[in-house]
A and B are shown apart, each in its own frame.
Chain A
Amino acid sequence: MMMEAPAREPVNFVGLLKDAVFAAAIAFGLFSLMLGLKTDQTLNNQMVLVPRPGLLFTVVGLVFVGRFLIGYWQAINAGKIKKRKAAATPLALKIEKYGTAAFVGFLFVYPMMVLGTAGPSGAIKWIDNFGIQILIYIMLGWGLNIVVGLAGLLDLGYVAFYAVGAYSYALLATSEPVKEFMAGAIGPTFWPLWAFWICLPVAGILAAFWGVLLGFPVLRLRGDYLAIVTLAFGEIIRLVLINWVEFSGGYAGISSIPRPSFFGVPFNATESGFAATFGLEFTPIYRTIFLFYVILILALITAVVSTRLRRLPVGRAWEALREDEIACRSLGINTVNTKLTAFAIGAMFGGFAGAFFAARQGFISPESFVFLESAQILAIVVLGGMGSLLGVVIASILLVGGVELLRELDFLKAYFGDNFDPAQYRMLIFGACMVLMMLWKPRGLISVREPSVFLKEKKAVSSDLVKEGHG
């Protein structure tokens, strides 16, 4: 251990070693049972304990080394005076502005780039798993950002509105009476082709309605209590979806949901399909690319609407509400309406994203709408820096994209053996990231805030001056 450190007078190695030994002892206490012994079932269902001393001592050793290195790093940096960060420069705002434009441009050419480099068969994975998956979370993040970031209402049940959107579309699109009615009124091919485009706004409106419905009882609650009640609502909706089998299909969910069409032109190999209509060779990639653009446009609409809303009276009222509810009420702002509009508009975007999700998957079940999803969306908003649209993008790419990347790390099997599956560690790493992010930057990655209203010139507000979550 000692040789890693260059000889420096002030570093107290004995103290560091003591710390490291202490940490290792704690780790041994924590893990000797949980990691050192594994409960296994034999073929005749007997429970047996399998000792794993190697793993235990590796982990304890890692904790020892890790604690020592962290202590050493802290010790050599202790004397240095931290350079004070200049309070948010206009430059940071400029970077955000032009960076955003460049990034949106990049997103529009992304499918083509991937198609060019990876070819049609390899591109699906990159557009679907990375592009679409990340964009869905960006959109959800931006939707939740209205509730949490702007209005300061901590919502742990956002996934409920995502579920409302998804089930609205799935139920309407697969319902026989609606199909028959439409077939009778317009034509037999109309509903399967246009269901998505008609149901998308309906799903948004229904989700907004649920936002008001669930928002109404919690108007008086604040902070942690609000968080827990919204969590309860989210769970209640999921449990009802599981148990009300006649309505939602229970655990089995709803399958064969119609896919969106290219405004009436289906993506299939038939004469009237997309490829034939435009004189292209049929591959499934066109639908994926089309879905990518649909979610991209939906996400951009969310972003534009939320930036514009911020400047309207209602948006300013949201931000005032976030800063201080009592002052807000004293100034004559109707907090009831302000909160309900935040819930409704946030929920509406969740509903749009849900309808898109159902259309993209073609199958939904309550398993997709567990609490973990809510936590993940909230984590994206908070890690990005509440109120910051760009922050949500960065956090989504890091969290969702990073987790997806773990599935690609199959080469690690060469080192750890065939039983090693990196994907099973993704939620473990995700949870650790949430904790570490809070310890390192509790205000999120982008904690500079651009003021929505200003006199003469914009001055960025350092996040240390604002407080969220008291709503």
Chain B
Amino acid sequence: MEVFVQQLINGVTLGAVYGLIAIGYTMVFGIIGMVNFAHGDVFMISAFVALICFMAVTALAGMTGGAVFLALLVALIVSMIVTSLFSWTIERVAYRKLRGSFRLAPLISAIGMSILLMNFVQVAQGARNKPIPPIMRDTIRLFEKDGFVVAISYKQILIILVTALLLGIFWYVVQKTPLGRAQRACEQDQKMAALLGINVDRTIAVTFIMGAALAAVAGTMFLTYYGVVVFSDGFVPGVKAFTAAVLGGIGSLPGAVLGGMLIGLIETFWSAYFSIDYKDVAAFSILAIVLIFMPQGLLGKPEVEKV
């Protein structure tokens, strides 16, 4: 029971990170029908930007409690801006021209972009693990039984709260603003949306930016939670987040969050009760199983095949 509760807390934290990345996949897939393979690497870049920012601020302001908090806040905001800029540039350079092209072209371009970004970071920042000093190590002890302490750390609380807050804002933007309406219109029919005066190019660009901003939040939290980042960190979280998007039903925003939570929980419980070695195998197997047996996902709409 104690182990269960502790793993539940850990799993929800991890699931929040996956859910935030998954939204980027699901939105882009929903609007232009492509798997943005480079999204995982955009997430990795955001963690690097946050790392550099955090180091810069703490180098100037020291490592006191207030300074660390300030550094995290600055890192989060700067990372969101810079990562959005990256995603916007990627869409502009590598995807926009291929939108009307044959179906594999954007996917291959995205794979190329993913390789490019990963190796850019490796060349620019070096191939070694990049740690940050441990921060916010304090925990709240929830209860204790037979010497096993169930605790939730401030980091975890922060991650869950920030995720919930952002999802609220995000939901409001997509459901209640003209921008969200334009996005949903483009999702249904780009040509018709363009005829009705919606700037399709801009709407798609904004979709990429929103996905990247959420990935940046995930990246900053990933960095705070694990305290280390390396250039190859984009691939596996990227595939897991994609799995989350598929599991929840691709194109569905609540689905992405639900899928992220499920993947996070499955991964932590698998590691706790079965074997930590095979946790990635578990995630990949879920991806295959869901796509084979339930391609529309939990909350997605079934795809109707038209001749």
Q: Is the CB of A378 within 8 A of B49?
A: no
Q: Is the CB of A232 within 8 A of B82?
A: no
Q: Which residues of chain B are near A232, meaning CB under 8 Å?
A: 239, 284-285, 287-288
Closest to B93 in A: A435
Q: Is the CB of B284 within 8 A of A467?
A: no
Q: Is the CB of A468 within 8 A of B98?
A: no
A33 on the B face (CB < 8 A) = yes
Q: Which residues of chain B are near A38, meaning CB under 8 Å?
A: 124-126
The stretch among A75-83, A204-212, A223-231 that forms the contact with chain B is A223-231
The stretch among B111-119, B160-168, B177-185, B257-265 that forms the contact with chain A is B111-119
The stretch among B16-24, B134-142, B200-208, B273-281 that forms the contact with chain A is B273-281
Question: Which of A26, A229, A443 has the most CB atoms of chain B within a 10 A radius of its CB?
Answer: A229
- Which residues of chain B from 73 to 131 have a CB within 8 Å of any chain A CB? 78, 81-82, 85-86, 89, 93-94, 97-98, 101-109, 111-126, 128, 130-131
The stretch among A127-135, A214-222, A333-341 that forms the contact with chain B is A214-222
Q: Is the CB of B132 within 8 A of A468?
A: no
The count of residues in chain A whose C-beta lies closer than 8 Å to any C-beta of chain B is 59
Given A26-B89, A235-B239: A39 in contact with B130 (beta carbons within 8 A): yes
A350-392 interface bits toward B, Cβ cutoff 8 Å, 1 = contact, 0 = none: 0000000000000000000001100100110010000000000
B244 on the A face (CB < 8 A) = no
Task: A434 to B118: give the CA distance in the assembly, Å.
Answer: 14
Closest to B103 in A: A469
Q: Is the CB of A435 within 8 A of B123?
A: no
B48 on the A face (CB < 8 A) = yes
A470 on the B face (CB < 8 A) = yes
Q: Is the CB of A428 within 8 A of B128?
A: no
Given A39-B125, A236-B284, A372-B115: A438 in contact with B108 (beta carbons within 8 A): yes
The stretch among B6-14, B53-61, B189-197, B212-220 that forms the contact with chain A is B53-61
- Which residues of chain B from 267 to 307 have a CB within 8 Å of any chain A CB? 277-278, 280-281, 284-285, 287-288, 291-292, 295, 305, 307
Task: A375 to B38: give the CA distance in the assembly, Å.
Answer: 13
Q: Is the CB of A428 within 8 A of B109?
A: no
Q: Which residues of chain B are near A35, meaning CB under 8 Å?
A: 124
A453 on the B face (CB < 8 A) = no
B35 on the A face (CB < 8 A) = yes
Given A220-B292, A438-B98: A469 in contact with B56 (beta carbons within 8 A): no
Q: Which residues of chain B are near A39, meaning CB under 8 Å?
A: 51-52, 55, 125-126, 130
Q: What is the interface of chain A mostly: helix, strand, loop, or mixed?
A: helix
Partner pick for A469 among B104, B112, B113, B292, CB 8 A cutoff: B104
Q: Is the CB of B45 within 8 A of A431?
A: no
Closest to A219 in B: B292
Q: Is the CB of A378 within 8 A of B123?
A: no
Partner pick for B102 among A236, A430, A442, CB 8 A cutoff: A442
Question: Which of B55, B85, B281 has the most CB atoms of chain A within a 10 A radius of its CB?
Answer: B281
Task: A26 to B89: give the CA distance in the assembly, Å.
Answer: 8
A417-432 interface bits toward B, Cβ cutoff 8 Å, 1 = contact, 0 = none: 0000000110110111
Partner pick for A37 among B52, B93, B106, B288, CB 8 A cutoff: B52
- Which residues of chain A from 223 to 257 have a CB within 8 Å of any chain B CB? 223-225, 227-229, 231-233, 235-236, 239-240, 243
Q: Is the CB of A223 within 8 A of B103?
A: yes
Closest to A421 in B: B123
Task: A228 to B59: give the CA distance in the assembly, Å.
Answer: 42
Q: Is the CB of B112 within 8 A of A227?
A: no
Q: Is the CB of B82 within 8 A of A431?
A: no
Closest to B250 in A: A225
B235 on the A face (CB < 8 A) = yes
Closest to B112 in A: A434
Q: Is the CB of A229 within 8 A of B288?
A: yes
Given A236-B281, A435-B94, A439-B98: A228 in contact with B291 (beta carbons within 8 A): yes
Q: Is the CB of A33 within 8 A of B52?
A: yes
Taking the closest CB of chain B, its distance from the CB of A325, in whole angstroms, is 9
- Which residues of chain A from 21 to 41 have a CB within 8 Å of any chain B CB? 26, 29-30, 33-35, 37-41
Q: Is the CB of A425 within 8 A of B123?
A: yes
Q: Is the CB of B105 within 8 A of A33?
A: no
Given A221-B295, A371-B235: A427 in contact with B52 (beta carbons within 8 A): no
Task: A221 to B295: give the CA distance in the assembly, Å.
Answer: 8
Taking the closest CB of chain A, its distance from the CB of B283, in whole angstroms, is 9
A92 on the B face (CB < 8 A) = no
A409 on the B face (CB < 8 A) = no
B34 on the A face (CB < 8 A) = yes
Q: Is the CB of A435 within 8 A of B239?
A: no
Q: Is the CB of B307 within 8 A of A41?
A: no
Q: Is the CB of B86 within 8 A of A434?
A: no
Partner pick for A221 among B48, B56, B104, B291, CB 8 A cutoff: B291
Taking the closest CB of chain A, its distance from the CB of B277, in whole angstroms, is 4
Q: Which residues of chain A are near B239, meaning CB under 8 Å?
A: 231-232, 235
A430-465 interface bits toward B, Cβ cutoff 8 Å, 1 = contact, 0 = none: 111111011100110000000000000000000000
Q: Which residues of chain A are near B128, meaning CB under 8 Å?
A: 41
B242 on the A face (CB < 8 A) = yes
Closest to A27 in B: B89
Q: Is the CB of B111 within 8 A of A434?
A: yes
Taking the closest CB of chain B, its distance from the CB of A64, in whole angstroms, is 15
A294-333 interface bits toward B, Cβ cutoff 8 Å, 1 = contact, 0 = none: 0000000000000000000000000000000010000000
Given A38-B124, A439-B98: A428 in contact with B85 (beta carbons within 8 A): no
Partner pick for A431 among B97, B113, B284, CB 8 A cutoff: B113
Closest to B56 in A: A49
Q: Is the CB of B113 within 8 A of A435?
A: yes
Question: Which of A26, A231, A371 has the most CB atoms of chain B within a 10 A radius of its CB?
Answer: A231
A146 on the B face (CB < 8 A) = no
Taking the closest CB of chain A, its distance from the CB of B50, in whole angstroms, is 10
Q: Is the CB of B52 within 8 A of A433?
A: no
A101 on the B face (CB < 8 A) = no
Q: Is the CB of B111 within 8 A of A375?
A: yes
Given A47-B131, A49-B59, A435-B94: A236 in contact with B285 (beta carbons within 8 A): yes
Task: A235 to B278: give the CA distance in the assembly, Å.
Answer: 12
Task: A30 to B242: give the CA distance in the assembly, Å.
Answer: 25
Between A and B, 23 residue pairs with Cβ closer than 8 Å are A30-B85, A34-B125, A37-B56, A38-B124, A47-B131, A224-B107, A229-B292, A232-B288, A243-B278, A375-B111, A378-B111, A382-B104, A427-B119, A434-B109, A434-B111, A434-B115, A435-B93, A435-B113, A438-B98, A438-B101, A442-B105, A467-B103, A469-B102
Residues of B within 8 A of A (CB): 33-35, 45, 48-49, 51-53, 55-56, 59, 78, 81-82, 85-86, 89, 93-94, 97-98, 101-109, 111-126, 128, 130-133, 235, 239, 242, 246, 277-278, 280-281, 284-285, 287-288, 291-292, 295, 305, 307
In the complex, the 7 A-B pairs of residues with the closest C-beta atoms, listed nearest first? A434-B112, A431-B116, A431-B115, A469-B104, A442-B105, A428-B119, A438-B109
Known: A49-B52, A326-B305, A435-B112. 13 other contacts (CB 8 A): A34-B82, A47-B133, A48-B59, A228-B35, A229-B287, A239-B281, A240-B281, A243-B277, A427-B115, A427-B118, A430-B115, A433-B112, A468-B104
